[in-house]
Amino acid sequence: MLNMKNHIEDALQQYGEKLVSYEDLYNGSSNMNWKVHTSNGDYVLKRMPMHHPEKFIEFQNWLSSKLAETKIPFKPNVFTKSGDTVLVHNSYLWQLRPYVNGRFHKLGDRNDTKSCINVLLKLHSMDVDKNNNDTIEDFVYWTNEGEKKLKRSTEIIRKFVDNHTLSRMTKHYAALIKRSSESGYQMMNLKNVINHGDFHSRNLIFNDDGLSAVIDWDNSKIGPRVSDFAKAFYLLSRCMHNSFAINVGMAERFLAQYHNVAKLTKEEIHLIPLILGVAYIPKPEHLLSFGNNVDKLLWYINWTFNGSEMAECQLRPIIQKLIF
């Protein structure tokens, strides 16, 4: 079995790059990220678990081409020798992009957040071909045999939490799945746009001129705009990056600034807390993708429950102010 350095070197060869040095870039997901210095410069190399590689590669190639036509600060991935933006190698999916110097978005900073909202508005205003919808919305995912999928997740989670916590989690998730099944038809008729899917502070890079790069597009899909908005609204209105405590004033401004331009419907606004609650239900295949990395998995189990549980109680009062 290859050690990590050889593993990275082997992947970089598929891009025509030679490794000089590398360092880990920690993240909470099951993906692995490294900053790699090669003979041609600095890059970020991402390794992802392999799920539906053909569809993923097709969509990422289409997305790269589509975003290149816009003024969105998108840094395209490096092409493989075969001309794709995604590499299938050693039972993983890989992406390589230029390393972007700068700082992350500052939570609570009005100017930073305004710049992020403007980019989100541009993304959601783009015309898209609905035939490119090759990913599954969370509502649709849990509507189809949701009880069976939750049971599979529960069997994994029970190995890492006590019975009381497990009971709280499963009751909470089961109630959300039931509500999503009842509201799923509403999602089918909402406006579809490109969703970034993970629009949080660490994926938004600033330099002296402002927002210079939106990175990590591997969770992107075509889906309801309110799904992407809800996640960005929640994640960028937090008080701290690793917490789900909401800065109420920032959340009110975020919602108003987006709505004043995009005009969310009452139906979309009402769905926001439920969308977020469902989005943080841990899927069984995602839990399994952590493999033997128990520390990351345990962190993810607790983080998703915290995010799902807190979304509704914190955001519903803010949303009701906008509606009424």
pLDDT tens digits for range 40-77: 999 999 999 887 788 889 999 999 999 998 989 998 99
Q: Kindly report the average pLDDT of the chain as a whole number.
A: 91
Angle in degrees, 0-180, between the axes of helices 294-323 and 266-279, rounded to the nearest 10:
160
| Rounded Cα gap, residues 290 and 293, in angstroms | 6
* pLDDT for 323: 66
pLDDT at residue 164 tops 50: yes
How many CA within 13 A on the CB side of residue 256?
Answer: 10
Sequence length of the chain is 324
| Rounded Cα gap, residues 88 and 249, in angstroms | 44
| Rounded Cα gap, residues 92 and 147, in angstroms | 29
User: What residues does 195 pair with on adjacent strands?
Assistant: 221
Q: Which residue has the higher pLDDT, 185 or 277?
A: 277
Output DSSP code: residue 19.
E
pLDDT digits (tens, 9 = 90+) for 71-119: 899 989 999 998 999 999 989 999 999 999 999 999 999 999 999 999 9
The Cβ of residue 278 has, within 10 Å, a number of other Cβ atoms equal to: 26
Mean pLDDT, range 224-231, rounded to an integer: 95
pLDDT at residue 132 tops 70: no
pLDDT at residue 16 tops 50: yes
Please tell me the pTM assigned to this model. 0.92
β-sheet with 204-207: strand ranges across: 103-104, 204-207, 210-214
Residue 200: band (very low, low, confident or very high) from pLDDT cuts 50, 70, 90 = very high
pLDDT at residue 324 tops 70: no
Mean pLDDT, range 280-294, rounded to an integer: 92
Note whether 202 and 241 are within 8 A (CB).
yes
Mean pLDDT, range 255-284, rounded to an integer: 94
* pLDDT for 139: 76
pLDDT at residue 322 tops 70: yes
* pLDDT for 141: 86
State the first-to-last Cα distance of the chain, in angstroms, to the nearest integer: 61
| Rounded Cα gap, residues 76 and 61, in angstroms | 10
pLDDT at residue 133 tops 70: no
H helix or E strand, kind and range, residue 221: strand 221-224
Which are the contacts of 38, defined by CB distance < 8 A and separation ≥ 6?
12, 17, 18, 19, 20
